Amino acid sequence: MNFNDIFKSSFLENVSAISIVDMALALLLAFGLGVFIFLVYKKTYAGVMYSSSFGVTLVALTMITTLVILAVTSNVVLSLGMVGALSIVRFRTAIKEPLDIAFLFWAIAAGIVLAAGMIPLAVFGSVFIGVIILIFANRKDMTNPFIVVLECDGHESEEKAMTALMQHTKRCTVKSKTARKGSVELNLEVRLRSTNTDFINDLTEIEGVRSAVLVSYNGDYMG
C-alpha cells in the first residue's frame, strides 16, 4: 500500500458515476412530468376539499423517485442497501379518495421509468394515462344518484308529487317514508334524465307540497 492508496476514496470515485448532464436532464424531465401529473390531478379532482399540498407531493415524489433510481442503477451494492432502507418506511397518511392512489403510483412509476432511461415510454405513457383520466373523470354521468326529500301534508299531495317526479327521472326508489299527523316525509333515490333541476321548483308549486330538496349523492357523502 502506497501513499496514494491511503487517501483513495471510493466515495469520490462514485461522484463521476453519473454525469452532470444526465442528472440535470433526468431531474428536469421528472419535474415536467410531475407538473403534468399535478395539473391532471387538479383538473380531475372531485373530492370534498382540494389539498394543494398533495399536488405538490406528486411533483416532489416524481423527482425523488427519479433521484433514487438514478443512484440505484449506478451501483449494484447501493441498490441492495436502498431496498433494506426503504423497507422500513411506513406511511400513516390516510388516502380518502381512491383516485389519489392511482396518482401516487403514477408519479412513482413515471420516476422509475424515466430514471431507467426509457424517456419515450415515460413521456408517452404519462400523456396517454393523463388523457384517459381526463376523459373518464370529467365524463358527465347522468346515472349518478340523487336524493330527493319531499315533505307533503297528506296522501293526495304525495301522489301528485310522485307523479310529477316520475316524469323527470329515469328511476325513482323510495328509501324511507315518515308519516305524521298532517305531514308525510319521503326520501327517494332518483336518476335524472338531464342536468336540469328546475323540476324541484315545480314540485313546490304543487298544492300540499311544503318543501322539496335535491341532494347529490356519490355513496360517500352528501353535498
Grid cell in block for residue 156: 293526495
Question: Per-residue pLDDT averaged across 30-51, rounded?
Answer: 84
pLDDT band at 90 (very low <50, low <70, confident <90, very high): low
Cross-strand pairs, 214: 148
Question: In this structure, are 38 and 102 located in the same domain?
Answer: yes
Residue 157's pLDDT is what? Answer: 85
For residue 157, give the CATH number of its domain: 3.30.70.260
pLDDT band at 71 (very low <50, low <70, confident <90, very high): confident
pLDDT band at 32 (very low <50, low <70, confident <90, very high): very high
Residue 65 has pLDDT above 90, yes or no: no
Residue 99 has pLDDT above 90, yes or no: no
- Range of 168's domain? 145-216
How many angstroms separate the CA atoms of 59 and 168, rounded?
A: 45
CB of 223 closer than 8 Å to CB of 216? yes
* Alpha carbon separation from 144 to 45, 85, 136, 169 (Å, rounded): 17, 45, 14, 12
Q: What percent of the chain has pLDDT above 70?
A: 74
Residue 119's pLDDT is what? Answer: 87
Is 2 within a domain? Answer: no
Question: In this structure, are 14 and 95 located in the same domain?
Answer: yes
How many angstroms separate the CA atoms of 110 and 190, rounded?
A: 41
Buried b (16+ CB within 10 A) or exposed e, 52-69: eebbebbbebbbbbbbbb
Question: In this structure, are 174 and 202 located in the same domain?
Answer: yes
Is 84 within a domain? Answer: yes
pLDDT band at 30 (very low <50, low <70, confident <90, very high): very high
Question: Per-residue pLDDT averaged across 19-41, rounded?
Answer: 89
